[in-house]
Structure 1
Amino acid sequence: MGLYGIIRCGFFKYDNHLITALVERWRRETHTFHLRVGEATITLQDVELVWNLNINGFAVTGVDESFKPHVWQSQCAEWLGFMPHVNQFRGNKLVMSVLDQYCRSILINDNSTHVEVERYTRCVALMIIGGCMLPDSDGCSVNLMYLRLLRDTNQVSKYSWGSAVLAFLYRELCTASTIGKGEIAGPIFILQVWALSRITFLCPDPFGDIPDDDDHNDQILPFPPFGERWNRSFTWTHTTNHSVRVIRDLLDKMEPNQFKWVLYSNEFDKEYWRSVCPLICFNIVEMYRPDRVLRQFGQLQHIPGPAFDGDEFHECTRQGRRNYNWAEHHKNSICAWNDRLNLIVEGEPTNGNVGMTRQYSMWYDNITRRFITPISLIFFFHVELDCGVARILVYPNSDHLEQHEIFLHMCLCIR
């Protein structure tokens, strides 16, 4: 099915404070984080290499099936091999603990039939989709509309699950960045690995040696994905974590050399990672703008095109639409996705240069907000007149003493 890489990555504890600091810098109209050093975002390249998910495939969409519990019971019996109780459904969702209990209760071995193996595999795939790839805010149930895409196990790997994951993550970041929102769902593993891998002052030190793993030597199992390196112990002695205020301030003070624009080897370069196209996951459609982050592909960054107004897509929800055909509703976006190989943006190689033009630097300074922490919370001025000479005293706020470098720099400038 192409989901093996997610299993290899295992579980990684999330830093809610880091996620909050990143959400503060997310821009809904560009789907990028606005950092001091420029725009950056999670790309199709990151999703494919972190989880080894297929990117270049069919859009993950179709009919949003909605049935009564007794119909879902028969569907589960046919495709999953067991019949859950009616109380274990949450509308069109199934409680994932039921899938877990069922998978633990049966044994798959060489004597198992092909049908038994397929049914067991669909159960595992649903848990991966509902728990890692496309989790809702409740985090304990999975929508059974994905079951239709799992019926033919030979076709599952032909869908672009990677683009669906990125569309889902973009939508969650856009929702979380609006006023009044206090939670975020989606594939947070991808977001956190992206931040820890690229922002140098956030990256922890590995604890102990990398464990030996020879599973891929027999050429039966796929090669481990990039995200597997986070499936181990780390030490945070020299790294800031679990503090929104500190992480926010460090992002405010970020230097150009503290962000890794190019993270992967050139041997992984694929053109469709740079396609300016829509990302689709049933009702969710989000625009993908690699032209705004060309430095992440080792190319020179110029001033990008205008921002995309995605409010019409953000307002498109599944609420009140039973058995709705999202493939028909988003047919124009699906056509654009299918034409993605003709929508590739090309840039000049950086060749070790700064990675952006002077025009882009000036343009970015004018359209962004580099500092999240309000200035009034960092320091304040007191002006005294001494013999006709203005003396400016800078007093640091006691809650932001880590900004002492800024205070010293300001004093030197004032002098």
Structure 2
Amino acid sequence: MSRKIKPRNVDRPELHIIKYLSYSDYASRMMTCDHPVPPNRYDERVEEHLRSTGGIKLTWLRDLKERSQLTDENSIQVYVKCHIMLLIGTILFGDKSGASVHWKYLPLLSDFASIRQYSWGSACLAHLYRSLCRASRFDCKEIDGPLTLLLCWAWMRLPYLAPVPREPRSFSLANRWRNWERGDRVYRYHKLAHFWKALDELQEGQFLWVAYSGDRVDPDIIPAKIYMHSLIWSATVPLVSFECIEWHATDRFRRQFGFVQGSLDRAHGEVLTGPKNLNWATATTHSFWVMQWTNRYNHVLTDETMMPQQPLDTYMYWYRSKYGDHLNLSDLAVQ
């Protein structure tokens, strides 16, 4: 007796996800379903499913990626889009759940040619700043966001706190510490108190402010097409990623760009938080921040460059009078 084949549930919203917002060709919108249905541009079931659940399960994306046959252009695009969505949901813009990726990123994949034109770096910084802000609250126990970026930033600038890099000439720069535990087994046993004490004893010269200069990173390691954008690294502008808007306050850490740092003015004081599922495209205030980002070349820092051994009397006097010993981490009790 032949086995009955259970018909595929074509009404499951997850079968209709990729590119359903943009393409009229039904076959190109479907990820795994190929049943004959008249083409339509919009599927209310999918829209309602995504809005109610908030995202797409990462396990489903992984399974679909692994089952892709890569036999034609459409299957290759499905594979690549699954891979990108997994990167977005885990490394770039992951949340504390680690279970799903928000549906708002789907339209970004509708046009392959446009993907490389987005400023993914500034979007990652926006999410990292938002995560750090939330993690600074006294009742916060966890942190999410692009933590690989945070670790790489810290280890590049505080090498005496970093594990021994296994591949110092690797790019991306984070690959320097890939599989670091194989070559630096002692590092994994350092307790939190060890790092608190090391930060309290930090001396001038131990923090590498200009971490990507030629004497720190060989010029041929960072690709020229990436380094050419270093001109706008110091732009004091809002970083925009959908409803996530965070201020890139480069004027408060000028030394990172080789400039003299004086005493600081008051912080911007703008309230940049808002509803997570706000339709930012129609928000009245959103265009203001987008316009500032668009004009970022007009907001780069221009100032007197700092000599390597230039004293910081003005800044240090301001810092000590402002904060004193409040940041003495070694005095904190381990919770």
Query: With structure 2 as the length reference, what TM-score do the two structures score?
Result: 0.76
1:4-403 pair list within 5 angstroms: 73-76=15-18, 78-79=28-29, 81-82=31-32, 91-108=53-70, 112-206=71-165, 210=167, 224-234=171-181, 235-236=183-184, 239=187, 242-266=190-214, 268=227, 270-310=230-270, 312-314=271-273, 316-318=274-276, 321=278, 325=281, 328-354=284-310, 357-368=312-323, 369-374=326-331
1:196 partner SS: helix
Cα pair 2:15 2:31 within 8 Å, conserved = no
Instruction: Give the match's secondary structure for 1:280.
Output: strand
Post-superposition offset of 1:105: 1.0
8 Å Cα contact 2:169/2:176 also seen in 1 = no
Amino acid at match of 2:320: D
Q: 1:202 to 1:138 in 2, by over 3 A?
A: same
Q: Which amino acid aligns with 2:120?
A: W
Contact 1:169 1:187 in 2 (8 A): yes
How far apart, in 2, do the equivalents of 1:238 and 1:294 lie?
Answer: 35
- Structure 1 segments of 4 or more deviating over 6 A? none
Deviations 1:64-105 (A, max 9, x none): xxxxx955542347546126xx9x977031111111111111
Cα distance between partner residues in 2 of 1:120 and 1:326: 32
Q: Distance in 2 between matches of 1:177 and 1:157?
A: 33
Pairwise CA RMSD: 2.9
Q: Distance in 1 between matches of 2:54 and 2:118?
A: 22
**CA distances 1:314-334 after superposition (whole Å, capped 9, x unpaired):** 3x1225x4x563665411000
Distance 1:198 1:278 in 2: 24
Identity of aligned residues (%): 27
Answer whether contact 1:277 1:336 (CA < 8 A) is retained. Answer: yes
Matched-pair contact (CA < 8 Å) for 1:294–1:300: yes
Aligned residues: 287
State the SS of the aligned residue for 1:348.
Answer: coil
Query: In structure 1, how many angstroms separate the alpha carbons of the residues matched to 2:69 and 2:12?
Result: 27
Over 3 Å counting, the alpha-carbon distance change for 1:240 and 1:100 in structure 2 is closer
Higher strand share: 1
Which residue type is aligned with residue 203 of structure 2?
E
Letter aligned with residue 74 of structure 1: H
Match of 1:264, as an amino acid?
A: Y
**SS across alignment from 2:139:** coil
1:346-374, CA deviations, whole angstroms, 9 ceiling, x for partnerless residues? 232223223x5421121111222341333
Do the aligned residues in 2 keep the contact of 1:202 with 1:239 (CA within 8 Å)? no
Pairwise CA distance, 1:122? 1.1
1:135 partner letter: G
Which of structures 1 and 2 has the larger relative contact order (alpha carbons within 8 angstroms, sep 6+)?
1
Q: Aligned pair in 2 of structure 1 residues 114, 370: CA closer, same or farther (>3 Å)? A: same
